[in-house]
Structure 1
Amino acid sequence: MNWISTLVPWQWGVLGLVPIGIVLLYFLKLRREPVEVPSTYLWSRTIEDLHVNSLLQRLRRSLLLFLQLLAVAIAAIALLRPGVRGETSGQDRTVFLLDSSASMRATDVDGGDDGGKDAGQSRFDVAKKLIAQEIDQMSDNQSAMLITFSDRPNTVQSFTSDRRRLRDALDRTEVTNFPTDILGALKAADGLANPRRTSEVGNMNDVQVAGAMPADLKIYSDGGFQPVTEFNLGNLIPTYVSIGSKDAKNLAITAFSAERNLENPGEVQAFATVANLGSQPVEATATLMMDGQFMDASSVSLDPSDQTGLSFAIESDEAVQLSLRLDVEDDLQTDNVAFAGLTPLRNVNVLVVTPGNTPLELGLQTSKSSKICKSEFVSPDYLQTDRYTLRAESGTDDLIIYDRCSPKQMPATNTFFIGSLPTAKQDAAADEKWSWASENSGVVLIDIDRTHPMMRYLELFSLLIFQGRAINGPVGSTELIGADVGPMLVLAPRDGFQDMVLGFPIITTDDDGTSGTNTNWYAERSWPVFMLNVLRYLAGAAEASGAPSYQPGQTVRVRLENAISDAVMVRNTGSDNAASEKLTPGPTGIVDIVGADSPGNYQIKTGDRLADLFAVNLFDPTESTLAVAPDIELGYEAVTATAGSVESRNEYWRILLVAMLGVLATEWWVYSRRVG
């Protein structure tokens, strides 16, 4: 027989006052009124009542008092929850390790005696129920602690024998989207059963800091973690309670990314890997969404352990948020959706040095070019200023266009020369210099390198060019456009930069200063396309890349511009509600984000401007593989899984409550007969 108290000490004190109060009620003197009676029979009843008012006489003959005190005693015994449980080999101390990783969200758990599955019940919910039953069965001389673990341990409740505190701590636990690492939780439990020593064993000055206190180590998990070999159990007695089934159904997205097509930056390419990590064949539809709008879909049919790749192509120059969702009801929904993002084409600064070129201005001010380009037009006199010298040496601009002029020294950035040649270094060899290969003459274009991104979507054979000269480029040059007189557009590398030269001017100036056109290119559809290609590939506007992806719980470091004093992080998980959080960058513009715990697209905004973005995805095949491990390895010791059940305990408090009700009924019957 063992007892489990349901009241705290002060509540027992209140209960102890109840029988004292009952006895005190019998000490009260009756207030009597004079009564005239017509019969000596009634006088005898009154005399008998006077005898009863005597203290000893009343207590000696009060059956009601005895029944009332008996009812209180039975209630007190019932509150002690007497019961009988079989012999156990458990210790007086128990460490509960509760797995709170992403795989514990799986809903493949048994629903009870009917063999089905509980609707909405996850592995984590079942594990909590089992631990709660263990806590309820604890006796007063037993204590326990609760530790949850995912990729990090969390001691939710230290050792206590207070079952209420343990239950409250258990209620506070929540499942996460994090991967699994049990080592930290084992080390937290290790401190009790295996106390450390002050020095190495064998040292005469060695002192053990505390006595060993063996404890039961109960691990509630699906076993989805790597074997722990660098840990010694010592005095910990492990029990692995497996949660879940071996026959799970799960289709998972294990990779998802997006990038811009290098040859066509306006095209977004998305790639995904889908794997069947369950034990059943699965068919599903993968749906691609962009900013909440349907874009494309693809069917998926996989046998167990198979995987396949998916690819999608969409058109967008803007920053986009992509999500890929598997339309399937399986046992783990977290890995059925993945997120990716793309920054917009990078804004570039372009300096244009020209005596005047209206077609060039129009080409840089089209709707698409103006979104990615901030241009500044200056005259050739600007090349003689100190401001230009500092600007060229620091590489402030992403591209400098020299129209019919050349600098004394080449800048530390990419360049585009129109009707002029780059300046060579004084000690440069002949094959490292630019030169004209012909005199001014009429030009007929005969060849275009259509494989080069600079020439994409261009049709130039209808152009009229009145005057032009062929170009000799340095070693490593690439001819992009060929004419009857020789190369007409040439691209060459220079110390990590690129220089491009066009052999004919767009605008010419007579000796009297009158401007005229040298070609009809500016009136063709290919002109704004060509300028957009120049911005994308020569100025670097196409360097925009896909947003980085992190796993839930990882610290995300974002570097913002120094001018940004505050920002807002917006999380979009594909639903209508987007959560936001205010961010405050440090002096260096760096923000460490530690609250990215849920899968989704995260945007960093300052005002209405997008400063940065990243994605958070599970992407963990270990977590998505739902088959429960039959055993786990802890310190080279294999611990076999046991069924998730709690030893039954025969309790007698219900019988005692029925007995108490019987005593109260008897007391009421006796009282009714006396009064009647």
Structure 2
Amino acid sequence: MSWISTLAPWQWAIFAVVPIGIILLYFLKLRREPIEIPSTYLWSRTVEDLHVNSLFQRIRNNLLLLLQLLAVLLAALALLRPGQQGETSGLGRKVFLLDASASMMTEDVEQENRFAMAKLMIREQIDQMEDQDTAMLITFSDRAEVLQSFTSDRGRLRAALDRAQVTNRPTDIIGALEAADGLANPRRSSEAGDVNDIQVADPLPADLLIFSDGGFRDVADFNVGNLVPTYLKIGSDSPRNVGITAFSADRNVERPGDAQAFATVVNFGKDAETFNVSLYVDGQWRDAEAVTLEPDEEGSLTFALSDQGEAATLEARLESDDGDQGFSDDFSIDNFAYAGLRPLRTVSVLVITQGNRPLELGLTTESAAKICVADFQPPSYMESPEYTARATAGLDDLIIYDRCQPKTLPLTNTFFVAALPNADWSWASEPGQTILVDIDRTHPMMQYLELFSLLIFEGRSVTGPVGTRELVGADNGTVLALAPRDGYQDLVLGFAIVTNSDDGIPQTNTNWFAERSWPVFLLNVLRHLAGAADATNAASFLPGDTVRLRVESQIGEVQIARGSGTAETIPTGQSGTVEFVDSEMPGNYRVMADEKLVDLFAINLFSRMESQINPRSEFEIGYEKIETSGTMETRYEFWRWLLLLLLVVLALEWWLYNKRIA
């Protein structure tokens, strides 16, 4: 038998006055008015009421007083919450990990959703804590939040639980595990093996109660140490869900008036589903396609859009095939997806060269001219104030340095041909004939390229800073590399397209300019390094992501709003950079400046792990298999029976009192 007090000490002091007051009421003397009567024979019972001077006689003969004191005693016992603990671990410390990711909004449980069910289960655990027990509460989605550190105050734990909110974000449990591990497994003050090393704190074992549907990846590199994990699975075993896992739109660069929208839909349930996928453009219905998917089947759809020259917001919706607007399943957030077509614009490219006819022809083809404006200048232009202003303000989307190098790198993306950007780069080989041996076809700038037939008379391999990616490899090392630089990218080619003889006559160094891959490569550079591709389809981000955009540098501030909602004003940073953090809600977001649309972006869940809402029965933490627990630590309480007995006593007291009065 154990007890859990529900009152504070000062409240118990007030409660202790109640039985004393009941006893005193029985001995309060009534003020009686003296009345002369001719005889006491008829007033014998009244006279008996005056014989109340004996304390023990009064207690001995008054059943009502005993019943009232018994009622007070039962109330006190009920407030002490007597009970018996079952399946207790004996650790006395609990860490509640509450999954607050998007999948916890699944409506396949008795409560409002899985998150509400998990909160109810945690509240029951808090209510059953004993006075010496301590607990903490951590919520996690793609990041962890400690809502309440270790405390024995059940009121603070309940208040923290009330503050917990479900999110639209994907799941990552590692942050929550590290937060719990920091207390249960304190680290040492220095390196292992040091004889002077001391333990900074004693280990504090704790029960780790994970309330989740298991919609996260296994955690391999983690040691539970003094944590004793228990997985409380939330959700039914046969949920129903069809979700849109991908949705995008792309404009045809050669025919800007035409565009296409692409959607991928997956049936994550255990039964076949029939539904419609409808496309809305700027809020207006445009097209729909009926789809039937078997369990675990995936379907792809393409919608053609014509006369779509202006910017547009697109939305894909799952709708019922019986004509109703909505499609009902247990997880609704992935029934909608968003994309957009950005305003048409061309990119600005500055070319610094002493003469490169193949480069000039490649940047002025019909396809390239539709998406870029190229400005060719000699190397001496880098000494002019105009160049300095353009480079420091980042006015150009791309600067190409052909066989030359600036003193300071510009605040924009660059492409160096047979030159190095700065001291972070170096030549890794001596000049010589170069044979290409490898191409990174996964990078978009390398798409549709066949380069193994190229002849390169003189080339050198390059080495870049940390994070450099090899795009083309040769027999002497990397000859085409891409590296990040403070938000920008530098592309370096290790061989020249044309060179100059000793007498200044241009001569070719490769046959690349005569191959079909040359204009294709330059077009890829314009689209993916200068940003021409970004000028067509709007970027998509996950809920909760920090959205980073780039607008024209002369714009001082922008207004960003979801749909037709209230706009948030954000000042632009250096070179027109914009950071937006209020990205919790999925939808299309419009970026405005002076009532003009300057950009679009979308927020989508697009997580197969979240859309796969069938709860897992087990997962691994640190190569330890954690299986779902059928039961939780349960306390069997008896205070409800005491309250029922109290009601019986009060009813008996009321009956006797009325009988005596009668």
Q: Same fold (TM over 0.5)?
A: yes
Change (3 A) 1:39 1:284: same
Match of 1:238 in 2: 229
Which residue of 186, 189, 195 corresponds with 1:195?
186
Task: Give the letter aligned to residue 344 of structure 2.
Answer: L
Q: Deviation per CA, 1:287-310, whole angstroms, max 9, x where unpaired? A: 000111001111222223332321
Equivalent position amino acid for 2:150 in 1? F
- Corresponding position of 2:99: 99
1:73-102: per-residue Cα shift (whole Å, max 9, x none)? 111111222223435335211111111112
Moved more, 583-592 or 1-10: 583-592
| Gapped regions of structure 1 (runs ≥ 5) | 112-117, 350-371, 375-387, 399-424, 433-474, 479-491, 498-539
- Does residue 642 in structure 1 map to residue 639 in structure 2? no
Q: CA deviation at 1:185?
A: 0.5
2:643, 2:96 → 1: CA distance? 33
Aligned with 2:588: secondary structure? strand
> What stretches of structure 2 of length at least 5 have no aligned partner?
320-326, 349-370, 374-383, 398-499, 524-530
Distance 2:396 2:146 in 1: 54
- C-alpha deviation, 1:553, in angstroms: 1.0
**Could you tell me how far apart the structure 2 residues matched to 1:648 and 1:390 are?**
76
Write the mapping of 1:135-154 to structure 2, written as runs, cut at 5 A: 135-154=126-145
State the partner residue of 2:199. 208
Of 614, 617, 623, 2:610 maps to 623
1:261-301 per-residue CA deviation (whole Å, 9 max, x = no partner) reads: 12211122111222233333322211000111001111222
Q: Which residue of 2 aligns with 1:3?
A: 3
Decide whether the 8 Å contact of 2:87 with 2:633 is kept in 1: no
Deviations for 1:579-606, whole angstroms, at most 9, x for unmatched residues?
4333233465433211101211111212
Q: Which amino acid is 2:32 matched to? A: R
Matches within 5 A, 1:252-271: 252-271=243-262
Amino acid at match of 1:623: E
* Cα separation, partners in 2 of 1:72 and 1:567, compared to 1, 3 Å: same
d(CA) in 2 for partners of 1:566, 1:38: 104
Query: In the alignment, is the contact (CA less than 8 A) between 1:346 and 1:542 conserved in 2?
Result: no
From 263, 282, 287, the counterpart of 1:272: 263
Deviates more, 1:164-173 or 1:81-90: 81-90
Q: Which residue of 2 aligns with 1:489?
A: none
Distance 1:220 1:39, change over 3 A: same
1:592 equivalent to 2:579? Answer: yes
Instruction: Report the equivalent of 2:401.
Output: none
2:168 and 2:629 mapped to 1: Cα distance? 26
Q: 2:89, 2:396 → 1: CA distance?
A: 76
Q: Which residue of 2 aligns with 1:522?
A: none
Q: Is the 8 A contact 2:96 2:211 kept in 1?
A: yes
The answer as to whether partners of 2:559 and 2:568 remain within 8 angstroms in 1 is yes
User: 1:612 pairs with 583, 596, 599, which one?
Assistant: 599
> Superposition pairs for residues 414-433 of structure 1, below 5 Å?
none
Q: What is the TM-score when the length of structure 1 is the normalising length?
A: 0.67
SS of corresponding position for 2:155: helix
Separation in 1, partners of 2:561, 2:214: 35
Q: Work out the CA distance in 2 between the residues paired with 1:246 and 1:672.
A: 58
Cα distance in 2 for partners of 1:542, 1:637 equals 45
Aligned equivalent of 2:438? none
Distance 1:186 1:397 in 2: 46
Q: Residues of 1 paired with 2:599 and 2:139: CA distance? A: 34
Q: Is the 8 A contact 2:238 2:614 kept in 1?
A: yes
Question: Structure 1's 390 and 219: CA in aligned 2 closer, same or farther, altered over 3 A?
Answer: closer
In the alignment, is the contact (CA less than 8 A) between 1:90 and 1:216 conserved in 2?
Answer: no
Q: 1:319 maps to what in 2?
A: 311
Select 1:156's aligned residue among 123, 133, 147: 147
Structure-2 residue corresponding to 1:652: 638
TM-score with structure 2 setting the length: 0.68
Q: Which residue identity lines up with residue 600 of structure 1 in the other structure? A: G
User: Against the structure 1 CA distance between its residues 390 and 630, is the aligned structure 2 distance closer, same or farther, given a 3 Å change threshold?
Assistant: closer
Which amino acid in 2 is paired with 1:216?
D
- Kept in 2, the 8 Å contact 1:248–1:280? The answer is no
Matched, 1:548 2:534: no
- Determine the structure 2 residue equivalent to 1:405: none
Following the alignment from structure 2 to structure 1, what is the Cα–Cα distance between the partners of residues 193 and 515?
Answer: 74
Identity %: 55
Q: 2:648 pairs with 649, 654, 662, which one?
A: 662
Deviations 1:115-163 (A, max 9, x none): xxx6xx3222222222222222222222211111111111112222232
Alignment deviations for residues 195-229 of structure 1 (CA, whole Å, 9 cap, x no partner): 21112344322211222221111111122222211
Amino acid corresponding to residue 631 of structure 1 in structure 2? E
Instruction: Give 3-state SS (helix, strand or coil) of 2:538's partner.
Output: coil
Distance in 1, Cα, partners of 2:344 & 2:386? 27
Any idea what SS the aligned residue of 1:618 has? Answer: coil
Which secondary structure does the structure 2 equivalent of 1:40 belong to?
A: coil
Tell me, in whole angstroms, the C-alpha distance in 2 between the residues paired with 1:247 and 1:143: 36
Q: Give the Cα–Cα distance (whole angstroms) in 2 for the partners of residues 430 and 58 of structure 1.
A: 127
Alpha carbons of structure 1 residues 394 and 210: separation in structure 2 relative to 1, 3 Å: closer
Distance 1:594 1:654 in 2: 49
- Between 1:183-192 and 1:168-177, the stretch displaced more is 168-177
Please tell me whether the aligned partners of residues 558 and 592 of structure 2 are also in contact (alpha carbons under 8 angstroms): yes
Tell me how far 1:72 sits from its aligned partner: 1.0
1:675, CA displacement in angstroms? Answer: 4.1
Aligned-partner residue type, residue 333 of structure 2 = T
CA separation in 2, counterparts of 1:542 and 1:560? 15
Asked if the contact 1:259/1:545 (under 8 Å) is kept, the reply is: yes
Look up the SS of the partner of 1:659 in the other structure: helix
Q: 1:181 Cα shift?
A: 1.0
Is this contact kept in 2: 1:64–1:667, CA < 8 A? yes
The residue identity in structure 2 corresponding to 1:651 is E
* Letter in structure 1 aligned against 2:76: A
Q: How does 1:562-601 map to 2 (within 5 A)?
A: 562-572=553-563, 578-586=565-573, 589-601=576-588
- 2:97 maps to amino acid: L
* Equivalent runs, 1:373-388 vs 2, <5 Å: none
Does the 8 Å contact 2:187/2:200 carry over to 1?
A: yes
Tell me what 1:22 maps to.
22
> C-alpha displacement at 1:340, in angstroms?
0.5
Cα deviations by residue, 1:138-194 (Å, 9 ceiling, x for unpaired): 222222111111111111122222323222222221211111111111111112321
Partner residue, 1:343: 342
